[in-house]
Each structure stands twice: as structure tokens, then as C-alpha cells.
Amino acid sequence: MDFNDFKNAFFIGFFMAFMIGPVFFMLIKTSILKGVRAAIAFDLGVILGDITFILIAYFGSRSLLERIKDDPRLFLIGGLVLVIYGLITYLDKSNKKEIEEPEIKLSENTNYIKLFIKGFFLNFINIGVLAFWLGVIVVVGPTLDMQPISIFWYFTTVILGYALTDLGKILLAKQLKNKLTPFVIYKMKKGMGILLIVFGAVLMLKGFLPKEKLNIESLIEKVEKK
């Protein structure tokens, strides 16, 4: 892996941390109601859920990826998964209520283990997260020649980017809560959906175009600069 791989992996982790969903709101609400340590315990459970999904996606698709890693149709599969996930995100019309103001003080007997387990299962029951990780592995795995060490460090960097961004969200929970109006939430969900659709479409195009015609790493670098 080179520096660009690590940078792109960190960017994916950062992006994932701002996906609007139940975990996003519960993390902020837990930080407001129960404090930073409780929110970190909850977030560690969420991260364990992501690691579990990554392992399932990796070992579940490894043999297939080994056989077709040089087949351009691989980009069609990975891109299609991301496009579908993006469409689901974009078209989701469920109304998210603003996070309520805390009415109770930090409890001294906060059950951190219970929060950890709650974070794990709240993330694990979302099959869309598995679909997302599957799409990422289908695309990233072959670019790393399916080398276990490279893949390990790539996704370790993704998780690190995700965890550090979540820590920032936890520390800034009050400010985030005040800014998350229904309109802002609606726009964020639409924006995330569009980004996934565009990224998935680019990957699908890569299945048709010669490698020198379309460079995904360059695309990510352009997005980062904006």
C-alpha cells in the first residue's frame, strides 16, 4: 500500500461517519444524555459491528474475487451495489426527529457493557451496511491484488478514520444537535445518496473503459480537495 491508498481509506472512514441513520443519531443522543465515555462505549460496539461485516464480506467473497479479480465485470458488480445503496439512501422518506434536549443528568451507574452491546446490534441489524462493505471490498480487494496484509491495513485505516470522526462528533454533540434541523438532515441524506450513486456509476464505467481512461484514485483526490 502507498500513501494514496491510506489517504483514500481514511477518506472512506470519514465519509461513513456522516452517513445519516439510527446509529448517527443514537451516538449524538448518547453523548448528550449520558456523557462522552458512554458514547465511546456505544461507538465501540458500532465499530465492532462494522468489523464483523467487513470480515463477513471479505471471507464470503474472497474465493469469487480471486477468480475474477482481473475481470472488468467486477467493477460493474461493486458499482451496482453502491448505486443501489445510494438510491435507497436518497429515496428514504422516513422522518427523523430532532434529538431531544436531555432532561436527566449523567447517571453514575451507566451500564457501559449494555451500551456497547446496543451499539453493536443497532449497527449489525442494518443489512445495508453489509451491502456497503461488500461493495467496497469488491472494488478495493483486486486493486490490492487480494493481499491479506494490504487489505488488513487498508480497512484498519478506514476504521481509524471512522473512529476519529465519530470521536469528533461525540465531543461536538451539543453543537451538532443544534444544527441538525429536519431540513439539514434531509439535505445531508440526499447528498450522501447522490455521492454513493455517482461513485457507484464511476465504478461501473470503469468496467467498460480502459484503465488509463478512468482513474478512481484521481477522482477521490478531486473530491477531497473540494
Locus of grid cell 444544527: 179
Helical ranges in the chain per DSSP H: 3-17, 22-34, 36-68, 73-91, 112-124, 127-143, 148-171, 173-179, 182-206, 216-225
**Greater model confidence, 201 or 93:** 201
Residue 74: the pLDDT is: 64
104 located within any domain: no
Amino acid at 55: L
Answer yes or no: is 47 within a domain: yes
Higher per-residue pLDDT: 225 or 143: 143
**pLDDT in the model for residue 25:** 81
Q: Quote the pLDDT of residue 217.
A: 47
Q: Is residue 218 part of a domain?
A: yes
- DSSP for 4-52, written as a single string: HHHHHHHHHHHHHHT--SHHHHHHHHHHHHH-HHHHHHHHHHHHHHHHH
2 dihedral zone (left: phi>0; alpha: psi -120 to 50; beta): beta
pLDDT tens for 24-36 read 888 888 888 888 9
Residue 103 lies in a domain: no
Question: What is the pLDDT at residue 178?
Answer: 74
| Average pLDDT in the chain | 77
Judge whether 101 lies within some domain.
Answer: no
Which residues constitute the domain of residue 37? 3-96+110-225
Entry pTM? 0.70
CA–CA distance, 58 with 61 (Å, rounded to integer): 5
Among 150, 155, 160, 157, smallest CA distance to 1 is for 150
Q: What gap in Å lies between CA 79 and CA 209, rounded to an integer?
A: 14
**Poorest-confidence range of 3-12, 146-155, 191-200?**
191-200
Cα–Cα distance for residue pair 137/61, rounded to 1 Å: 8
CA proximity to 53, closest of 150, 131, 149, 119:
131
Q: What is the 3-state secondary structure (H, E, C) of 184-197?
A: HHHHHHHHHHHHHH
Confirm whether 20 is domain-assigned. yes
Each residue's pLDDT tens digit, 201-220: 877 777 666 544 444 445 45
C-alpha cell at 117: 452491546
**Overall number of domains in the chain:** 1
Residue 82 lies in a domain: yes
Does residue 102 lie in a domain region?
no
